[in-house]
Structure 1
Amino acid sequence: MISQAINLEPLYPGATLCEKIRKVSAEGFKEVEFWGWDQLDLEEVRRTCEETGAKIRAFSGTKEWSLCDVTHRTEYMDWVQKSIEAAKKLDCDTLILFPNHFTSNGCADFRKQYSQDAMIANVAATLTMLVPILEEHHMTVLLEPLANKGTDAGMSVTDTSQGAAIVRAVGSSHVQLLCDVFHMQMMHGNLLNNLLTNLDIVHYIHIADAPDRHEPGTGEINLDYLAEQIQNSEFEGTVCMEYFPAAETEKGMPAVKDFLKNLNKGL
């Protein structure tokens, strides 16, 4: 069975995270995702989840340091451990890790410090060092390759094949690959083949149309076809809607629900 989740952050501008949980729960979503945790009242979030029946599916374990930078590896790993403790309070077992952290000016850029190969090796090495911690706490981390466009030109892991090679090199079920079809389309396309050839390490998919990262049906990706093929494949995991509404959040919900209906058609 494919589970369905939705990222709260871009939805319902001006609402608090807990208000967003209540709103998407009323729309029928029972698994949610968000980005940073350290500015939240975790007890309030936990309580809201209990009241609505919502589950925190995943959130970001990246903040001020980067996987690709060994200079601050100790600080990076300390932050992941703090994120694990936060996850436990929310009954969540999955963290999303970005190759580079983000600043107010885009992603942190380490191209003057490291070669591309060195950054890839740094990501793999730090993930490998995290494995014993993840095993101890029964946690999974998802490496998410991201597009290196505009102010994010310094992103170190941008290609699905790069991410897959890193995850396979680590060789632990506690380290998996997150495939974000928006970022994949912006970087290399060939979405279905990249997904289906990596099902052994991909159990989490982000969905948004391209090039504007809005709801299904607003861009160039045939997401209905993609949903059908994912549903007919051996994929077992979570499909999470991570998109920026083209207008008011409520107006885009029918398109999101139609996509998810196609995803689990016949199941």
Structure 2
Amino acid sequence: MKKSICIEKIYLEHDFYERFNQVAQAGFDCVEFGYWPGRDIARIKDACEKNSLTVTAFSADFKASLIVPDDHDAFLEYIAQSIEVAKTLECKNLVIHSQAMDDTGSFTHDGSGLSDTVKLYSAALTAQDAAKLAEQAGVTLVLEAVNNISKPGYYMTTSRFTGDLCKVVGSPNLKILYDIWHMQQMEGNMVENLRRYADVLGYIHVGDCPERHEPGTGEINFDKIKRVVCDELGLDVVWGFELDPEINSADCVQKLKAF
């Protein structure tokens, strides 16, 4: 099981670049973060090389939305730029969403005012073109469904939506990012949905529910989910700990080691 620490949530008491050192010192060898604009990519690469860390994922959309037709070219341009960053960092997964969000999690272009038909066709066509870029570069785009409780107006809110889109596009380089915290709120029935979309499952985000804390603090049966994904389905995907620690970061990551 590949376990990755999200430094946009954990070790926030440290400078961004120091968080890489903290992850390595805690005994993890994988790390993920959010958006790359404004970040010193060379410094991130150096920190990863010094600490033998692998960047497993970062966000590859920022100001252009998958569901907005007029954003098609800008979306692809940003994907292309993100791919170049991924090559530098030797990162194999790029996270995308239905709507553009900035590094604060706020919509930069939500597609409000467009019909559902327009949004759906735009998403399929743009995702198809983006997947071609990913195929050429040897990276995987992982499409994340997000709850519309904490993100009112979010469009793709279920694994059925993102999973079916990936199946229609049919590219091995477009898969879903299944965020357990988001999906427990939106649809539940997680084991069945993970089975249904096993062929397009590319990445998992871990966080308990209702609070987005460490596994074992809420209502989710993570042991069952792990058995299904790892043993029954035999999937070797990254489990990214994108969660808000209930305890201090040092104790949190020690707890995550046992996950």
Q: TM-score scaled to structure 2, two decimals?
A: 0.93
Give the distance between the partners of 2:15 and 2:61, measured in 1 at CA. 21
The correspondence of residues 228-267 of structure 1 with structure 2, limited to 5 A, is 228-233=227-232, 234-259=234-259
| Pair 1:111 & 2:99 matched | no
8 Å CA contact 1:120–1:157 kept in 2: the answer is no
Q: 1:163-219: per-residue Cα shift (whole Å, max 9, x none)?
A: 111001110001111111111001010111111221111031111001111111111
Q: 1:42-98: per-residue Cα shift (whole Å, max 9, x none)?
A: 111111111100011111001111111111211111111111111111111221001
Q: 1:240-263: per-residue Cα shift (whole Å, max 9, x none)?
A: 11111113212322331222xxxx
The correspondence of residues 117-128 of structure 1 with structure 2, limited to 5 A, is 117-128=117-128
Structure 1's 229 and 252: CA in aligned 2 closer, same or farther, altered over 3 A? same
Shift of 1:105: 7.9
Residue in 2 that maps onto 1:154:
153
8 Å CA contact 2:65–2:110 kept in 1: the answer is no
Give the distance between the partners of 2:167 and 2:230, measured in 1 at CA. 24
Kindly tell me the number of residue pairs found equivalent between the two proteins: 256
Name which of structure 1's ranges 64-73 and 178-187 shifts more when overlaid on structure 2: 64-73
8 Å CA contact 1:215–1:252 kept in 2: the answer is yes
Match of 2:81, SS? helix
> Quick one: which amino acid aligns to residue 126 of structure 1?
T
What is the RMSD computed on CA atoms of the aligned residues?
1.6
The percent identity for this pair of structures is 28
Shift of 1:157: 0.6
Name which of structure 1's ranges 183-192 and 101-110 shifts more when overlaid on structure 2: 101-110
Give the distance between the partners of 1:193 and 1:133, measured in 2 at CA. 31
> Quick one: which amino acid aligns to residue 111 of structure 1?
S
Give the distance between the partners of 2:23 and 2:106, measured in 1 at CA. 29
Residue in 2 that maps onto 1:184:
183
> Quick one: which amino acid aligns to residue 67 of structure 1?
L
Give the distance between the partners of 1:258 and 1:105, measured in 2 at CA. 29
Q: TM-score scaled to structure 1, two decimals?
A: 0.91
Give the distance between the partners of 1:31 and 1:205, measured in 2 at CA. 14
Match of 1:172, SS? coil
Shift of 1:115: 2.2
Shift of 1:12: 1.5
Structure 1's 105 and 39: CA in aligned 2 closer, same or farther, altered over 3 A? closer
